[in-house]
Amino acid sequence: MPRLRVHAFSLSLDGYGAGSNQNIDEPFGDGGLRLTEWMTPTRTFQKMVESGSEGGSGVDDDFLARGVDGVGATIMGRNMFGPQRGQWKDDSWTGWWGPNPPYHNQVFVLTHHARDPIPMEGGTTFNFVTEGIEGALRRAFEAADGLDVRLSGGVATIKSYLRAGLVDELHLAIAPILLGDGERLLDGLGDIGDRYERSQLVSTNPWPTSSSLVADQEPNPRH
């Protein structure tokens, strides 16, 4: 039975899945790109962005690869597709990802504003869905043709699907950083904790960067 899956969705220690003030220079908002630094060195990521670099294997790579294996279509929110809000003023925007986006399947973008599909290189087509989350899910399952659908993001979109009980699997990556502000994923979701069960808990260590986190310095003014 095809499933709706979220993979490699990164949260800061203070629970943010994105920083505040998303804009064209900061797709994840202020400081939010630090959430995804663990992905960059992996083989799956390097292959996804067709960098020509090899990338590394290991636990991080395994988790990223799971988000590609068996996935036949993608759903994302409007804000994940771009920084524009409201009516489409400028049709030249085709996403953050350049001419060959890393999806390589049919991507369904939730929006209140209709727009023609955008075929991209590498098999990705951005389709704009105005029929809400269930409509997007129907279309995505149809496009996936028996494979699973990946729910890509961002925070508000995943929350909508979680609230509706439509998510079959959610993989979270906890980044040992503090963002201080932004969009929280696991907030206001009611009794969702009762409706799911933890299937796995894995650590990767060391975190690839020396990003800041409360511990072990000497901030104490009395010293």
**At 127, is the secondary structure helix, strand, or coil?**
strand
Tell me how far, at minimum, the Cβ of 148 lies from a second copy, in Å: 12
Which member of 170, 173, 182, 183 binds a second copy (CB under 8 A)? 170
Which member of 3, 50, 77, 125 binds a second copy (CB under 8 A)? 3
CA nearest to 8, candidates 150, 152, 171: 171
The reply to whether 24 sits near a second copy by the rule CB under 8 A is: no
- Supply 88's token pair: 């489409």
Which member of 64, 143, 167, 173 binds a second copy (CB under 8 A)? 167
Which member of 1, 86, 87, 90 binds a second copy (CB under 8 A)? 1
Q: Which stretch binds a second copy (CB under 8 A): 13-21, 35-43, 50-58, 113-121?
A: 13-21
Which member of 88, 93, 97, 207 binds a second copy (CB under 8 A)? 207
CA nearest to 97, candidates 129, 123, 65: 123
Per-residue binder mask for a second copy (CB under 8 A), 143-162, x = binder:
-------------------x
Our measurement of the distance from residue 114's CA atom to the centroid of its chain's CA atoms, rounded to an integer in Å, reads 23
Name the burial class of residue 20, with classes exposed (0-12), middle (13-18) and buried (19+) by CB atoms within 10 angstroms of its CB.
middle
Residue 110 Cα distances to 8, 59, 118, 135, 147, angstroms:
20, 32, 14, 9, 20
123-142 residues near a second copy, rule: CB under 8 A = 137
DSSP state of 98: -
The enclosing H or E element of 49 equals: none
The reply to whether 199 sits near a second copy by the rule CB under 8 A is: yes
| Spatial separation of the C-alpha atoms in residues 195 and 193, rounded to whole Å | 6
The reply to whether 213 sits near a second copy by the rule CB under 8 A is: yes
| Spatial separation of the C-alpha atoms in residues 199 and 187, rounded to whole Å | 21
Complex with a second copy: residue 122 or 132, whichever CB lies closer: 132
The reply to whether 168 sits near a second copy by the rule CB under 8 A is: yes
Contact residues for a second copy (CB under 8 A)?
1, 3-4, 11, 13-15, 137, 162, 165-172, 174, 176-180, 184, 186-187, 189-203, 205-207, 210-223
